[in-house]
Amino acid sequence: MAFFLAQILTGLANAAALFLVASGLSLIFGVTRIVNFAHGSFYMLGAFVGVTLMDILPGHVGFWGAILLTGLAVGLIGAFVEIVVLRPVYRAPELFQLVATFGVILVIQDLALMIWGAEDRLGPRAPGLRGVWRIFGEPVPKYDIVLIAITPVILFALWYLITRTRMGTLVRAATQDREMVGALGVNQAWLFTGVFALGSALAGLGGALQLPKGGADLLMDFNIIGSVFVVVVIGGMGSLPGAFIAAVIISVLNVFGVAYLPQSTLVLMYVVMAVVLIVRPYGLLGREEVAGEHGQVGAPERPIRPYGARGRMVVIALLAALALLPLVADKFILTLMIDVIVFALFAASLHFILGSGGLVSFGHAAFFGGGAYAAALLVFHTDTPMELAFIAAPFAAGLLALGIGWFCIRLSGVYFAMLTLAFSQLVWSLAFQWRSVTRGDDGLVNIWPADWLNATAPFYYFTLAMGVGGILFLRHIIHAPFGYALRAGRDSPRQAEAMGINVKRVQFAAFAVAGAMAGLAGGIFVFSKGSVFPTELEIAASFDVLIVVFLGGVKTLAGGVVGAAFLTGVEDWLTRLEYWRLILGLLIIAVVIIAPEGIVGSLRTLWVRIRHIEEEEAK
């Protein structure tokens, strides 16, 4: 019994930081509708800034003063990020801001590396709270009790701010109807900046408060972002009490998980999230998103067209060049090209549901990694021949997509995205923690192709055939009735339903096709590398491919492929530099701000403009 109580107390203490970070994310989303991927980075910044300040400031006052100052500092950094990066893109197409926030993650990662170095920092103990208190004979760290006491105070303070102050009233009003708040004379731009700063400050506070328990390291941003999204989604996007309840549930469950079912800790919260979303699609205290409320902004689209003679010539020339490449290129170039093709197919599969279907999946890596793992597991455990295992990859990924899609397709918008993220994390944690089957983070190794492919050039041709075949297959579907129906459901679901199209079923099928194609890419990948690790299933992998699609251009057919080639190429070159993340992050932010239609989209607009000028001059 006493042990039980102590466990609950530990869980409640852990909930403190989680709630702080989650409440910030929830606030930001509620008002600005931005899903701020960089929120974990503010948490990490909070930890590092906190450590530094605590070093400088001595004693009791220093410790708590440092925590408050950290909140302030991170809040200011948040305001800066909002003004410089997000303001220019509020009018860009929906969810395009995501990419910008991802750029921010990369920039902050490298800045933190530059300033604080790669060493993990131990957090200082809170002065006067070093030991433990015995509660029914069980030792409970004093600092835990303080955290447990602080959390309700913070919840109350936030509740007071939101419900009892003018700023809070404006924030709640803006959550409901931004335009009307503007029409009543409130400058939304500053309201947004204020909310973003507050949300960032909360994340920073969370980072500083957990220092005595966790310290500071460079992986904190990605480590927390998964749990934070889970908490916000379980609680209901935009609901503070929801975030609090969810943070407590997740933290307490997690502590019990560690005690009783250590293999399950990572899976547990995603299982809880999936169950909650299936029962209550908008979270415990969240509200239904009104359709069309946050509609797509941006220029009207042009009908897709198959390439004309000139376009086809370019594609054929490109393919010919790729086919002839082994004659001139060395092994290094060929290996790079294999990576490019694999990534291009992966990106094309996401682009298929994102561009044509309007389905933004945050968890597409589940299918890429799922395919890779399916093939690898067959080879590793049953010595299945490579050919057979390879074919199993797309099938397994397609089946996985059918299973996941069955739950996800019922939701739309951000909730759809979040549920895909939850499921992909579920798959990731399986790979990570089911060690007896997957060998955890040791990965599955020695997964080499059959003898006839076991050299760079033959495998290059194999990749070229499979990758290009997959991409052409997806392109063909886009031009087929099925692809048109998918696009119809995106353009106007109401009209599509009124003309007999079962929009959800079309989306479900498309989701499965996209999953299978990602699995195909995963199949090629695993045999090209000879191994697969849980990292292929990580959130970061899902984000990478999402960014590639946005960078290439969502509304252009070639977007995914061009974006993938661009990113793989740039990354290969950049990663030779020490601070490549910083440069890549700035590059991403620059593309988002300068070329909101993506690379292909912007090039096309430029091309149209040039032709227009030429025509004018011809006259």
- Footprint of other proteins on this chain (CB under 8 A)? 166, 169-170, 172-173, 176-177, 179-189, 300-304, 306, 476-477, 479-485, 487-488, 490-492, 494-495, 497-502, 506, 509, 555
Contact at 8 Å (CB) between 102 and 541? Answer: no
Residue carrying structure tokens 């359709």: 291
What kind and span of H or E run contains 252? helix 240-260
**Least distance (Å) from other proteins to the CB of residue 293?**
12
Instruction: Give me the least distance between CB of 244 and other proteins, in Å please.
Output: 18
CB of 555 to other proteins, least distance (A): 8
Helix or strand or coil: residue 186?
Answer: coil
Residue with smaller CB distance to other proteins, 468 or 478: 478
Q: What are phi and psi of 13, to 5 degrees?
A: -65, -40
Residue 296 backbone class (left: φ over 0; alpha: ψ -120 to 50; beta: rest):
beta
Q: Given the complex with other proteins, which of 119 and 179 has the nearer CB atom?
A: 179
Q: Which is nearer to other proteins, 491 or 578 (CB)?
A: 491
Instruction: Tell me the closest approach of the beta carbon of residue 286 to other proteins, in angstroms.
Output: 13
C-alpha torsion 359→363→367→369, nearest 10: 160
Residue 583, classified by CB atoms within 10 Å of its CB into exposed (0-12), middle (13-18) or buried (19+), is middle
Q: How far is the CB of 436 from other proteins (least distance, A)?
A: 40
Comparison of 187 and 575: residue with beta carbon closer to other proteins: 187
CB-based contact 508:340 (threshold 8 Å): no
Q: CA-to-CA distance for 21 and 15, rounded, in angstroms?
A: 10
The DSSP H or E segment spanning 380 is helix 365-382
Residue 302 CB, nearest approach to other proteins (Å): 5
Of 280 and 479, CB closest to other proteins: 479
Of 174 and 267, the one with the shorter C-beta distance to other proteins is 174
CB of 552 to other proteins, least distance (A): 17
- Cα 80–Cα 85–Cα 90 angle in degrees, nearest 5: 115
Nearest approach in angstroms of CB 490 to other proteins is 8
Q: In the chain, how many H helices and how many E strands?
A: 26, 4
Strand partners, 216: 121
As measured in angstroms, the least distance from the Cβ of 88 to other proteins is 15
Neighbouring CB atoms inside 10 A of 219's CB total 11
Name which of 514, 526, 513, 510 is nearest 393 in CA terms. 526
Pick 151 or 175: Cβ nearer other proteins = 175
What gap in Å lies between CA 243 and CA 100, rounded to an integer?
25
Judged by CB, which is closer to other proteins: 137, or 303? 303
Q: Which is nearer to other proteins, 305 or 619 (CB)?
A: 305
The candidate with the shortest Cα–Cα distance to 292, out of 418, 420, 413, is: 413
